[in-house]
């Protein structure tokens, strides 16, 4: 057993290292910004005194290495700093950033992060069982009309842009037949069912994209195994085709399936940007795009880090699950 | 309510499927194969038959009885696409050289449709200046003319698809969109391949620390989701470019090319590693060939097949990324016509679907133009990959 923990521990350390490199990369690219943050915050008509005071508040007059360490230290303690919009507001309002009383980036992000996770969760709850089921069926009846129809439709939905699928869904499920609302304004204090109703269209859009990919991988993983001798043995002893797949093929193709599911969950969290913008869903992606447009660096930085972290975390999870599901990896020689 | 209907109809389909199989087994068919077929039919196949029949009936019902405009158009579009692919393949099998006819004989309809679409897009992009009735930034006095060209319904016969909020002809902008969007995406992909292939082959041939440095740098870049990183870098790029819109697009091309070249690097390095160990590379090295000759005259010709398939996939990806950026408002800049930006600008019209179906198709037309090309390219790539891997199994 010791060896598994060793392997997993090594993966986790590697993941943390990657995260560290990513944070460095994000910080470095943000520091390529021309001019000064303080100038950016206050705009054109800023007095030198105001610029100097905000530089003081944000610690901009320190050395970049010192600033990076401060930023990293803050993040570890859950402090992402203060957004430029809020800092600007505070500066003109007369309160110092240090005094508090204004919303920090973490305060702004927390509810939106919850919303994004809710959206990703709903889409995953629909898409994972659906795609595994469809994948098994497509593998079972491979090269039939059913398989070909599924192949064409999934290929089309993978390659279409998200907003195309989103507008098609809006057209049919919101405008022509008002089943779901086309704008998902989710807010605090809604009941679970209300929230689910509002989230349904963006979740369905994501489901369409993600299901196609997962289903194709599931089908490929199972079909790869269908030529192995032990499957032939099962067929010869008269096992029903569905049972062959469920009992014999599925356990062995679990590793690639888990892998692709984790990758797609990572996509769900990071790829929601466009979908959230289409449906005006108050998630992290929406905030990210808005902040990119007004160049609100602290928020952009924080969002980027959160996206990257969830991406790395899910990849790590996929790695560990793959190791656990495969005895040959579990006991390396 | 909807959910209840859905559950009832699914349960009904399953019950009917069982009934279908049961009656099929009870009846003594005149042909023996049919008896055997029904005897061996699994339950799910029976359900599948009933499901297919239900689907066809539903389509016919909506098409002929309800006559929902969008559904009718969608079905017609699908039929036209399928037919054009079929006819194109039919012609390809008759006309052309021996080689091309042989190629068409093994081609599925989807791939034929894909090739036809790509050719049409290429023609549209190259000859946009001749095809489009007006210039892309030509402004007319008619603002927000509705599509259809009927003056009684708020249209203008001069503008088949109407005009936008500034009075620019939408049909011309859609046609020029092919030139701008596809052209920029194509240039970006070529650029990304130049970087990726050079880096990948260098790493494969030289090995050692060059390989280590390049590979670790690529790993780090790939750890951040691509669209997110592109957005972050675009924030900085827009600050650098200021109000210079051309520079924003140049930066966008550079950023996406570099980010996308990481994938190309991975592939070309893997392919290159397999080629580098061959004897002819050894011979070329002994001959004293330069590194450039080695990379582009010895390795590249032997790696074209997998790289070409990858080129199709990467082009789709780059095209979608650029469209997504434009849709979010930080990609291709006005006054250049671009499909992603058009979708965003026209998106509100979708709410008019109930009164004016033609108007509501405008955003779908621009988004569909993007989707059609990526689907077409994917159909071709799928066929090429299937052809190169399917022969073995």
The sign of the CA dihedral A75, A77, A80, A81 is: negative
Mean pLDDT for chain A overall = 81
pLDDT at B392 over 50: no
What number is the average pLDDT over the span B360-364? 84
d(CA B29, CA B77): 40
Considering only residues 180 to 239 of chain A, which have any Cβ-Cβ distance to chain B shorter than 8 Å? 182, 227
pLDDT digits (tens, 9 = 90+) for B278-296: 888 889 889 888 888 888 8
Q: Does A153 touch chain B (CB under 8 A)?
A: no
- Residue A45's pLDDT band (boundaries 50, 70, 90)? low
DSSP codes, A228-253: SHHHHHHHHTT--HHHIIIIIIHHHT
Burial of residue A227 (number of CB atoms within 10 Å: 0-12, 13-18, 19+):
exposed
Name the residue in chain B with its Cα closest to that of A160. B371
Q: Does A160 touch chain B (CB under 8 A)?
A: yes
Structure tokens at B52: 């297919």
Higher-scoring residue by pLDDT: B70, B316 = B316
Nearest to B115 by CA among B314, B382, B365: B382
d(CA A289, CA B343): 17
Cα–Cα distance list, A22 to A25, A75, A262 (Å)? 5, 13, 20
The shortest CB-CB distance from A156 to any of B70, B219, B375 is to: B375
Nearest to B121 by CA among B319, B354, B350: B319
Beta-bridge partner residues of B25: none
Higher-scoring residue by pLDDT: A232, A323 = A232
- Residue A2's pLDDT band (boundaries 50, 70, 90)? low
Residues in Cβ contact with B154 at an 8 Å cutoff, skipping those fewer than 6 apart: B145, B146
The shortest CB-CB distance from A29 to any of B2, B232, B347 is to: B232
pLDDT of residue A94: 53
Peptide bond into A86 cis (omega under 30): no
pLDDT above 70 covers a percentage of chain A that reads 85
Is the separation of the CB atoms in A308 and A97 below 8 Å? no
Cβ B236–A175 below 8 Å, yes or no? Answer: no
The sign of the CA dihedral A235, A237, A238, A243 is: negative
Name the residue in chain A with its Cα closest to that of B240. A34
For chain A, residues classed under CATH 1.10.3720.10 are 109-288
Best mutation target, B48, B82, B217, B235, to test chain A (most A CBs within 10 A): B235
Q: Does A261 touch chain B (CB under 8 A)?
A: no
Q: Which residues of chain B neighbour A271 with C-beta distances below 8 Å?
A: 225, 227
The shortest CB-CB distance from B2 to any of A179, A271, A295 is to: A179
Cβ B371–A311 below 8 Å, yes or no? Answer: no
Cβ A159–B232 below 8 Å, yes or no? Answer: no
d(CA A82, CA A70): 13
Residues in Cβ contact with A128 at an 8 Å cutoff, skipping those fewer than 6 apart: A214, A261
Q: Which residues of chain A neighbour B45 with C-beta distances below 8 Å?
A: 141
pLDDT at A236 over 70: yes
> Has the ipTM of the complex gone over 0.95?
no
Cβ B235–A271 below 8 Å, yes or no? Answer: no
pLDDT at A318 over 70: yes
pLDDT above 90 covers a percentage of chain A that reads 3
pLDDT at B391 over 50: no
- Residue B193's pLDDT band (boundaries 50, 70, 90)? very high
Our CA-based measurement puts residue B240 at a distance from the nearest CA of chain A, in whole angstroms, of 6
Is the separation of the CB atoms in B45 and A137 below 8 Å? no
Q: Which residues of chain A neighbour B353 with C-beta distances below 8 Å?
A: 171, 175-176
Is the separation of the CB atoms in B291 and B197 below 8 Å? no
Displacement of CA A291 from its chain's centroid (Å): 18
Best mutation target, A137, A143, A159, to test chain B (most B CBs within 10 A): A159
- Residue B264's pLDDT band (boundaries 50, 70, 90)? very high
d(CA B204, CA B206): 6
Instruction: Say how many CA atoms lie within 13 Å of B244 toward its Cβ.
Output: 11
| Kind plus residue range of the DSSP H or E element containing A156 | helix A145-159
DSSP codes, B246-278: HHHHHHHHHHHHHHHHHHHHHHHHHHHHHHHTS
Name which CATH class applies to A109-288. mainly alpha
Least confidently predicted of A31-40, A184-193, B330-339: A31-40
What number is the average pLDDT over the span A171-197? 80
d(CA B2, CA A326): 43
Least confidently predicted of A90-94, B84-88, B358-362: A90-94
Q: Which of A119-133, A185-199, B128-142 has the highest mean pLDDT?
A: A119-133
For chain A, the first-to-last Cα distance in angstroms comes to 14
Least confidently predicted of A134-138, A215-219, A275-279, B67-71: B67-71
Cβ B371–A152 below 8 Å, yes or no? Answer: no
Structure tokens at B358: 């033609």
Cβ A164–B371 below 8 Å, yes or no? Answer: yes
pLDDT of residue B260: 92
Q: Does A40 touch chain B (CB under 8 A)?
A: yes
Name the residue in chain B with its Cα closest to that of A267. B225
Higher-scoring residue by pLDDT: B390, B196 = B196
The shortest CB-CB distance from A312 to any of B223, B229, B363 is to: B223
pLDDT at B167 over 60: yes
Q: Which residues of chain A neighbour B350 with C-beta distances below 8 Å?
A: 167, 170-171, 175
Best mutation target, A164, A219, A296, to test chain B (most B CBs within 10 A): A164
What number is the average pLDDT over the span B68-84? 88
Coarse DSSP helix, strand, coil percentages of chain A, rounded to the nearest 5 percent: 80, 0, 20
Q: Which residues of chain B neighbour A227 with C-beta distances below 8 Å?
A: 393
Our CA-based measurement puts residue A30 at a distance from the nearest CA of chain B, in whole angstroms, of 7
pLDDT digits (tens, 9 = 90+) for A252-306: 888 888 888 888 888 777 678 888 888 888 888 888 888 888 777 788 888 888 8
Burial of residue A72 (number of CB atoms within 10 Å: 0-12, 13-18, 19+):
middle
Cβ A175–B350 below 8 Å, yes or no? Answer: yes
Is the separation of the CB atoms in A104 and A81 below 8 Å? yes
Nearest to B317 by CA among B246, B252, B370: B370
Whether the full predicted model's pTM is greater than 0.90, yes or no, is no
pLDDT at B393 over 50: no
Structure tokens at A248: 């014999």
Owner of token pair 């790696």? B303
Higher-scoring residue by pLDDT: A196, B389 = A196
| Kind plus residue range of the DSSP H or E element containing B29 | none
Backbone angles phi, psi at A182, to 5 degrees: -85, -20
Name the residue in chain B with its Cα closest to that of A305. B224
- Residue A89's pLDDT band (boundaries 50, 70, 90)? low
Our CA-based measurement puts residue B349 at a distance from the nearest CA of chain A, in whole angstroms, of 10
pLDDT of residue A87: 64
**DSSP-derived secondary structure letter, B354:** T
Burial of residue A6 (number of CB atoms within 10 Å: 0-12, 13-18, 19+):
exposed
The shortest CB-CB distance from A170 to any of B231, B350, B382 is to: B350
pLDDT digits (tens, 9 = 90+) for B113-138: 999 999 999 998 888 888 877 777 77
Q: For chain A, how many helices (H) and strands (E)?
A: 17, 0
DSSP codes, B164-180: -TT-BBHHHHHHHHIII
Cβ A159–B343 below 8 Å, yes or no? Answer: no
Cα–Cα distance list, B149 to B170, B171, B210 (Å)? 12, 12, 62
Our CA-based measurement puts residue A292 at a distance from the nearest CA of chain B, in whole angstroms, of 5
What number is the average pLDDT over the span B83-112? 86
pLDDT at A103 over 70: no
pLDDT of residue B389: 67
The shortest CB-CB distance from A304 to any of B42, B220, B228 is to: B228
Cβ A270–B238 below 8 Å, yes or no? Answer: no
Structure tokens at A203: 């979740």
d(CA A306, CA A23): 10
Owner of token pair 């401060």? A70
């Amino acid at each position: 057993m010791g060896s598994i923990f060793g392997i997993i521990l090594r993966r986790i350390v590697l993941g943390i290292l990657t995260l560290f490199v990513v944070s460095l990369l994000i910080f470095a690219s943000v520091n390529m910004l021309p001019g000064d943050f303080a100038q950016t915050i206050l705009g054109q008509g800023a007095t030198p005194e105001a610029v100097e005071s905000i530089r003081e508040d944000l610690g901009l007059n320190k050395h970049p290495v010192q600033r990076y360490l401060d930023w990293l230290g803050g993040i570890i303690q859950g402090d992402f700093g203060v957004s430029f919009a809020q800092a600007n507001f505070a500066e003109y309002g007369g309160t110092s950033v240090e005094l508090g009383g204004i919303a920090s980036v973490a305060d702004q992000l927390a509810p939106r992060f919850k919303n994004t996770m809710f959206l990703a969760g709903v889409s995953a709850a629909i898409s994972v069982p659906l795609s595994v089921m469809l994948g098994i069926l497509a593998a079972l009846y491979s090269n039939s009309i059913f398989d070909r129809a599924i192949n064409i439709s999934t290929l089309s939905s993978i390659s279409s842009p998200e907003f195309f699928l989103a507008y098609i869904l809006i057209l049919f499920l919101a405008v022509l037949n008002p089943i779901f609302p086309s704008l998902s304004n989710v807010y605090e204090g809604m009941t679970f069912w209300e929230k689910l109703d509002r989230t349904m269209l963006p979740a369905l859009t994501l489901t369409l994209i993600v299901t196609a990919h997962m289903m194709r991988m599931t089908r490929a993983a199972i079909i790869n195994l269908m030529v192995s001798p032990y499957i032939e043995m099962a067929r010869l002893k008269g096992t029903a085709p569905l049972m062959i797949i469920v009992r014999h093929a599925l356990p062995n193709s679990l590793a690639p399936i888990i892998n692709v599911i984790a990758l797609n969950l990572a996509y769900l969290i990071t790829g929601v940007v466009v979908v959230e913008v289409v449906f005006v869903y108050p998630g992290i992606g929406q905030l990210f795009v808005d902040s990119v447009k007004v160049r609100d660096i602290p928020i952009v930085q924080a969002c980027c880090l959160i996206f990257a972290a969830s991406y790395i975390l899910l990849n790590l999870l996929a790695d560990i699950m793959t190791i656990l599901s495969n005895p040959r990896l579990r006991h390396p020689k | 309510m909807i959910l209840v209907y859905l559950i009832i109809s699914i349960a009904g389909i399953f019950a009917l499927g069982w009934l279908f199989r049961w009656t099929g087994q009870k009846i003594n068919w005149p042909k023996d194969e049919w008896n055997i077929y029904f005897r061996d039919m699994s339950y799910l196949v029976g359900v599948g038959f009933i499901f297919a029949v239900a689907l066809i009936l539903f389509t016919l019902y909506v098409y002929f009885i309800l006559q929902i405009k969008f559904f009718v158009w969608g079905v017609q579009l699908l039929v036209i696409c399928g037919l054009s692919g079929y006819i194109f393949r039919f012609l390809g099998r008759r006309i052309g050289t021996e080689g091309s006819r042989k190629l068409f004989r093994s081609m599925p309809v989807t791939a034929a449709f894909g090739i036809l679409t790509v050719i049409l897009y290429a023609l549209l992009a190259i000859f946009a200046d001749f095809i489009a009735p007006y210039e892309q930034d030509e402004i007319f006095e008619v603002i927000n003319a509705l599509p259809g060209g009927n003056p009684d319904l708020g249209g203008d016969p001069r503008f088949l698809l109407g005009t936008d909020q500034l009075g620019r002809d939408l049909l011309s902008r859609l046609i020029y969109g092919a030139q701008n969007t596809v052209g920029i995406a194509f240039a970006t992909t070529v650029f990304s391949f130049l970087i990726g292939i050079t880096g990948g082959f260098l790493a494969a041939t030289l090995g050692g620390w060059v390989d280590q440095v390049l590979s670790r740098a690529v790993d780090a870049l790939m750890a951040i989701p691509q669209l997110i990183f592109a957005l972050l870098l675009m924030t900085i790029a827009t600050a650098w470019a200021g109000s210079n819109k051309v520079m924003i697009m140049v930066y966008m091309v550079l950023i996406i090319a570099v980010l996308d070249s990481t994938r190309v690097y991975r592939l070309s390095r893997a392919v290159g590693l397999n080629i580098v160990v061959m004897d002819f590379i050894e011979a070329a090295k002994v001959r004293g060939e330069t590194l450039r000759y080695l990379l582009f005259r010895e390795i590249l010709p032997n790696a074209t097949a997998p790289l070409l398939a990858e080129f199709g996939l990467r082009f789709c990806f780059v095209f979608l990324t650029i469209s997504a950026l434009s849709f979010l408002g930080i990609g291709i800049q006005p006054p250049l016509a671009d499909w992603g930006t058009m979708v965003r600008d026209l998106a509100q019209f979708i709410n008019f679907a109930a009164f004016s179906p033609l108007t509501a198709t405008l955003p779908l037309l621009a988004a569909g133009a993007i989707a059609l090309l990526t689907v077409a390219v994917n159909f071709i790539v799928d066929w090429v990959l299937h052809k190169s891997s399917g022969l073995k199994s």
